[in-house]
Structure 1
Amino acid sequence: MPTGLAIRDVRDQLFDAAERVLLRDGPSALTSRAVTTEAGCAKGVLHRHFTDFDAFLAELVLDRITRIDDQAAALRACAGTGTVADNLTQVLMDLFESVAVAIVSLVTSRDGLRARLREVRPTGVPILTDAATAIASYLTAEREIGRINADADTDTLAPTLIGAAHMLFADRQGIPPQAGDVRKIVTAVIAGAEQEPLR
């Protein structure tokens, strides 16, 4: 059996188990034993593939960032289709209905994990910063084709959208926001950017 394939399969199994524990029980319950128990494997399996638990968690976060990078290309490709508000609403729903909010909580709660991530990503909050970059790129594409004002500050609009949506989704115990709730934020944030400047 090719070694790379086996390692990838184990990593995916452990990452998926970590996400389930994180979503169900929160960051404080995420331990190597909880992950391996959830994955149905011996505790030693995790430590054979990762130097320590923070290294495992850092790889989990970086793997999830790669997924956002893939979504960013798809989002940018939809510039000029549908409406800007609908496209942004959908990407924010997809982002925050995933494990993203829980991962942000995990990163902020573990000093060792933050230190590991700073070695490879010195600025910003992982996941949120990457999502803001993806949205800024999309808004720039929309600006280039004239659906967003030429003077719109996409680098400010994007993190504003991320921050506002994050606030909606941050309460893991409450009722999750609906698309209409997210769209209301989106339309408020981009309202001025979509209008033609008065000259």
Structure 2
Amino acid sequence: MTYAYKLMDSPVGQLKLVANGERLAAILWQNDKPNRVRLGELIEANDRPVLIDTERQLNEYFAGTRREFDLPLAFQGTEFQKQVWAALLTIPFGQTRSYAEIAVQIGNVNAVRAAGAANGRNPISIVAPCHRVIGASGDLTGFAGGLANKMFLLSLEAGQTSLEAQADRQTDMFAEEGKAKVEAQARPEAQTKPARHAPRRGTQSSLFGT
């Protein structure tokens, strides 16, 4: 099967929009792992209507004028994966869900890890908002597009009035995190006690990526 693609520049890097016929099959990140989303042969097709419409709607989303996407989708995966991806589409703009909540929603409370793994294989990033899934403790956890982009998207949906304001907020959050690490290292107990590498709550989920 041959897929058509179109590249677009965005505030989260260059995105590859992929169509299967007249349906959107994937939105891939600039530094996406080659085997995260398995597709067939790709040919560039900048005039494919569904790809043009996808780029338009994404630009509206980044500009803060679109909260929902209206695109025909073609998910390729197992039935379980499709259940998880369908659950992603139900998460409202500006809200988040945990992996456990996704597992409950699809009717399999014991499938938390499997739900996280499927979330990490989500082929249609942003439109199927895997960035809205976080750890049970509130940790952002892993993300195929990178944690900085995940923070960007969540903050944008949290009510930023402009992309510039969002970029400033993102920079401030990283600066605060770096300051906290420096202060922690400067404490006397940090210098006398051997470092321990116990994972934080939510680290297990970070192995999944999104």
Q: What is the TM-score of this pair, normalised by structure 1?
A: 0.30
TM-score, structure 2 normalization: 0.29
Name the one with the larger helix percent: 1
Select the structure that is richer in strand. 2
